[in-house]
Structure formats: structure tokens, C-alpha cells
Amino acid sequence: MDKQNRKAVIAGNWKMNKTATEGAALIDELIPAVAGAGCEVVICTPYTTLVTAVEKCKGTNIHVGAENVHFEKSGAFTGEISADMLVDLGVEYVITGHSERRQYFAETDETVNKRTLAGLNAGLKVIVCVGENLAQREQGVTEELVRLQTKIALQGVTAEQMANVIIAYEPVWAIGTGRTATAEQAQEVCAAIRKVVGELYGEAVAKATTIQYGGSMNDGNAAELLGKPDVDGGLIGGAALKADKFAAIVKAATEG
């Protein structure tokens, strides 16, 4: 089975939550809770928590990621953080294209592409987020939109670099709303994303690419979502802030 050959990745997206002190306490709870995981475990934290997170997660199975990255290498970009700065800290992952950044911080498909390339070229693994809003779903353009977002985000990414790319399908209407996509909806769009990856890079890359679902995934619905053939993991917001809930999702991924 293709799915068995792909890496299941459960990633927490802490968003703008937890001070470094509070984050340290959460990581202390997470370390034993996910120690037996049979999937890749990632926590993407605010920049201010990264040093603490990398330090605490050394020698554990938890990998640390950032929630954004600037696309220039250095220079006069007050307030921004480069990919080299993240790599130097020991950060391994970065999220690009999260819908909250598209919605509130003028992120476009083009800047998502630039950030994705910057992350990959610096040696980071990149979780690229795509997904439709409610109006787009109701208009019936979900698949076209997600195809377009995926294609533009991956422009200039080589087939070799695809080994370091994860795509997260996150329907905007399901994020933080408690309104999860059905497992069938998640499967349908994740399969469409795999198809476009296949068109761009060929079957072998498509079969090897990890595709996550995100949007109100929790301990109650994770097993069903992760049981679908093209859903290889999850990007978790709210439920990543509670060690027991996050660990339950990791367990579901381990068993699924």
C-alpha cells in the first residue's frame, strides 16, 4: 500500500499561543506523552519559544518547526526572521501559506512560493498549507482553487526537494470552528492534491508525498480522518495546546 510507505506526520501549530515559559511546561508534558509514537511528531511554535523548544526536544522524538519565515536571506526587513536564522537554532520545519497569514497578513500564492523556496533552499522541511474558504466551497471551486494554490506554491521546487515538502489541506471554514470536514471531503481534496503533485512531478513523487488534513482535527475525529487512503497526517491547532489531546491524535496516527 502506498500509504504505508509514506511518512505520517502529526504537526502542532501553536499559532500565537503560549509564552516561552508556558510552552516549556507544555513540552514537558508532551515528551512522555508522545514518546512511543509511530509517526513523525512536530510542534510549530511562536518564534519566541523556538530556542526553548529546540533545547527541550533534543534527544526526544519531537521535531520543532516555525510558523512562518521570510523569503529574503537577510537585510533591511525589520521584524522578520530568515530561514538561515531558523536553521541555525536547530529548527527543522516551517509552515508556509497558513490561511490566517493569507487572511490577515496579505499573504499571496506568490509569497507562499517564495517562502517555500527559501525554507527548502536553507534545508528546512516545509509544510505548505492550501484550502478553500466557505464561499469557494459553496461555489464548487474547491478543487480548482486548491490545484492552483498547490501549483503556484511549488513553482521552482525540484522533484528532489519534494522529499522535504508536506502539503496540508486546510479548509478555511474548518479552522478553529469546530466544524471539521468529513473524512470523505478531506479524502477527496487530499487525493486531488496528490493528483496535481503527480502531474507536476510524476507518480513516484506523488505516492511519496505526505499530505495532511487540518481544521478542527481532534482526539475524537482523528482516527476516521487519518484512516482515509490519501490523508497521511494532521496539522493541529487548538488540540495541539493540550498534551493529552495532541498525544491522542499521535496515537491515532500511529495505529492508523
Segment contacting ligand PGA (CB under 6 A): 67-75, 184-192, 235-243, 244-252? 235-243
Residue 107 appears among annotated catalytic residues? no
User: What are the backbone dihedrals phi and psi of residue 95, each rounded to the nearest 5 degrees, phi first?
Assistant: -95, 135
Residue 98 appears among annotated catalytic residues? yes
Question: Which one, 71 or 213, has the nearer CB to ligand PGA?
Answer: 213
Active-site residue identified among 67, 98, 100, 107: 98
Q: Which of 157, 217, 225, 252 binds ligand PGA (CB under 6 A)?
A: 217
13 binds ligand PGA, rule: CB under 6 A: yes
User: What are the backbone dihedrals phi and psi of residue 124, each rounded to the nearest 5 degrees, phi first?
Assistant: -85, 155
By CB under 6 A, how many residues form the interface with ligand PGA? 13
Q: Which of 131, 171, 214, 256 binds ligand PGA (CB under 6 A)?
A: 214
Question: Which one, 132 or 170, has the nearer CB to ligand PGA?
Answer: 170
The CA-atom distances, in angstroms, between 249 and each of 92, 98, 114 are 21, 21, 31
Smallest distance, Å, CB 129 to ligand PGA?
A: 7
Smallest distance, Å, CB 66 to ligand PGA?
A: 14
Q: Which residue is nearest to ligand PGA (CB)?
A: 237
CA atoms of 24 and 121, how far apart (whole Å): 30
Smallest distance, Å, CB 130 to ligand PGA?
A: 12
235 binds ligand PGA, rule: CB under 6 A: yes
Q: Which of 46, 215, 233, 256 binds ligand PGA (CB under 6 A)?
A: 215
Question: Which one, 40 or 201, has the nearer CB to ligand PGA?
Answer: 40
Segment contacting ligand PGA (CB under 6 A): 30-38, 202-210, 230-238, 245-253? 230-238
CA atoms of 224 and 228, how far apart (whole Å): 7
Q: Which of 237, 245, 246, 250 binds ligand PGA (CB under 6 A)?
A: 237
Is the separation of the CB atoms in 166 and 208 below 8 Å? no
- Annotate the chain with three-state secondary structure: CHHHHCCCEEEEECCCCCCHHHHHHHHHHHHHHCCCCCCEEEEEECHHHHHHHHHHHCCCCEEEEECCCECCCCCCCCCCCEHHHHHHHCCCEEEECCHHHHHHCCCCHHHHHHHHHHHHHHCCEEEEEECCCHHHHHHCCHHHHHHHHHHHHCCCCCCCHHHHEEEEECCHHHCCCCCCCCHHHHHHHHHHHHHHHHHHHCHHHHHHCEEEEECCCCCCCHHHHHCCCCCCEEEECHHHHCHHHHHHHHHHHHHC
Query: Residues 93-112 vs ligand PGA: string with x where CB under 6 A?
Result: --------------------
Query: Residues 167-186 vs ligand PGA: string with x where CB under 6 A?
Result: ---x----xx----------
Mind telling me the catalytic residues? 98, 170
Could you list the residues that contact ligand PGA (CB under 6 A)? Answer: 13, 170, 175-176, 214-217, 235-239
